[in-house]
Chain A
């Protein structure tokens, strides 16, 4: 039996799980009250989070406790906590469910983080298309404010914290943390060059901590049950549970919160196995920005950072895209390259010029007009983008393609030689 829904999704089965009543009835805001009562020092909280081995769920997997420790709580001046609910990486849809079904966990998590870093204001950046999740979250803010969990001099502690939502307007790049900051400032979402990092120069130029929705929503339970509890749920190097988004050719797509290190096979089974009675061909385990793995490698791995890395990919945001044995990998790559081309912010040269180049070559191949040199061109262009750009989007645009060329080069060759995919019999 695979344990499910022990943290972020623990209330999902309840009616009106998004209501403050449900949340409070199930132990919600207890930690926040303890914090406000002065029973948990900021430094203790950081220690607890470090112990929990919680790594950022936005994709990079940076240890959360360590990130929080970069902020000087006692430095004078405004500081901000920002939550990243931009969720735009193809294959990812877990934060949407946290916002819809457990928004109070995020409110509480953000409040605790704000306390730790000494921020009196926070923003949650929700992608503009998430109207329903936005309303649920906003309603949660309202309820929390009414209950005295947000606002001024909270529960007589002298600590002020208020929380707001900023709505996006359709730009994947705003998930990148500095682009997200620019976007809240009312500008185009173009990533900033780092250094300086947000911890020293963030929103409105003020020290800022940014975390993913799932990261922050995990905090209340970590502090309620202890860092060790969370750490023990996971594996060495990564504690806790993780919300995996299963999509593609499975019978039962959706989100599954399971423990770090759960075998991929089990996760596949949870999502009902491959549809139409077919076989697994390939998996993108961490969202569109991670390398594609052939079935054999995927079936052997466990769902944690180190194990997926050993298999040749990355856990990313835990967005597992399943492809059956009829999948045209070249078209998949064309689709992904279209995404990066479309979503590039356009500021830096290799990404602006290179992503479109990749897409055009792939489109030519798909249209039966490819040349054998194109394969080398795809590899070269990818190499010229990789590492030469400002943010991770440019790099990401090459990762899937490079890995597909590694594992499925013959399908590209077939396309070029026959003008069609290996599945077209025409």
Chain B
């Protein structure tokens, strides 16, 4: 649980700080805590896609809340990572509609192409595959989320195209 990676001191400054401040501004003045989810998202995004204890503590300090309040939030929501992940994280929907439309084939094909199963990261640190619950795009099943984008109606061919794109 405790992460040994040290993260940069004073991570929350400059652009990162400005982005967090924008979120703080939309809540009532005494409710800075409301910005914790966005702060964690931003910090994670700027820190190779995962959080460390130190980063969570920095968020706590910045928002003037206790570290425990941040840990609780950071471990409750599924989108926060607590260990290093691949540069490209393939979040493949594992829920009912995607299952009905063959997401198993997608897992199998990706395993064949990347040599990893869900929950694993390629040796070169490029890719991680993660099984996630319904992403609210069941009409495009099977589908996955990569970064901020949804990729729907996945087939072996469309995966090949994506992989080729990411090769570049």
- The segment from B4-12, B95-103, B118-126 found at the interface with A is B95-103
A186 lies within 8 A of B73 (CB): yes
Find chain B residues with CB under 8 A from A339 CB: 95-96, 133-134
Considering only residues 14-52 of chain B, those with a C-beta below 8 Å from chain A are 26-28, 31-38, 40-41
Residues of A in contact, count (CB < 8 Å): 56
- By beta carbon, the residue of chain B nearest A185 is B34
Find chain A residues with CB under 8 A from B165 CB: none
B33 lies within 8 A of A185 (CB): yes
- Per-residue B-contact encoding for A180-191, CB less than 8 Å = 1, 0 else: 000111111100
A323 lies within 8 A of B37 (CB): no
A127 within 8 A of B: yes
- By beta carbon, the residue of chain A nearest B39 is A186
Considering only residues 135-156 of chain B, those with a C-beta below 8 Å from chain A are 135-141, 145, 148-150
B79 within 8 A of A: yes
Q: Closest Cβ of chain A: how far from B80's Cβ, in Å?
A: 6
B72 within 8 A of A: yes
State the CA gap A68–B137 with chains docked (Å).
30
Q: Contacts A169-B37, A169-B77, A247-B138 given: A132-B150 contact, CB under 8 Å?
A: yes
A263 within 8 A of B: no
State the CA gap A92–B133 with chains docked (Å).
12
Residues of B in contact with A, size category = 35 or more
State the CA gap A370–B113 with chains docked (Å).
34
State the CA gap A406–B37 with chains docked (Å).
42
B116 within 8 A of A: no
**Residue among A78, A188, A332 with the highest chain B CB neighbour number at 10 A:** A188
- By beta carbon, the residue of chain A nearest B78 is A170
Find chain B residues with CB under 8 A from A342 CB: 133
Find chain B residues with CB under 8 A from A129 CB: 79, 91, 135-136, 145, 150
> Which one of B28, B35, B134, B148 contacts A88 once the chains associate, using CB atoms below 8 Å?
B134
- By beta carbon, the residue of chain B nearest A340 is B133
A327 within 8 A of B: yes
B166 within 8 A of A: no
- The segment from A11-19, A42-50, A214-222, A248-256 found at the interface with B is A248-256
Considering only residues 84-104 of chain A, those with a C-beta below 8 Å from chain B are 87-93, 95-96
> Which one of B95, B135, B139, B150 contacts A255 once the chains associate, using CB atoms below 8 Å?
B139
Q: Closest Cβ of chain B: how far from A83's Cβ, in Å?
A: 14
Q: Closest Cβ of chain B: how far from A234's Cβ, in Å?
A: 23
Considering only residues 144-191 of chain A, those with a C-beta below 8 Å from chain B are 164-172, 183-189
State the CA gap A399–B38 with chains docked (Å).
34
A91 lies within 8 A of B97 (CB): yes
A343 within 8 A of B: yes
- By beta carbon, the residue of chain A nearest B30 is A204
Considering only residues 111-162 of chain A, those with a C-beta below 8 Å from chain B are 127-132
A335 lies within 8 A of B138 (CB): no
A366 within 8 A of B: no
A321 within 8 A of B: yes
**Residue among B32, B78, B96, B150 with the highest chain A CB neighbour number at 10 A:** B96
State the CA gap A131–B148 with chains docked (Å).
6
B132 within 8 A of A: yes
Find chain B residues with CB under 8 A from A253 CB: 97, 138-141
A88 lies within 8 A of B36 (CB): no
A131 lies within 8 A of B137 (CB): no
A319 within 8 A of B: yes
Sample of 16 further A-B pairs with CB below 8 A, known A189-B77, A335-B96, A339-B95? A92-B138, A93-B138, A93-B139, A129-B150, A169-B77, A169-B80, A170-B78, A183-B37, A185-B33, A247-B138, A253-B139, A253-B141, A255-B139, A288-B134, A332-B100, A339-B96
- Could you tell me which A residues sit within 8 Å of B by CB distance? 78, 87-93, 95-96, 127-132, 164-172, 183-189, 204, 245-249, 253-255, 284, 288, 319, 321, 323, 327, 331-332, 335-336, 338-339, 342-343, 345
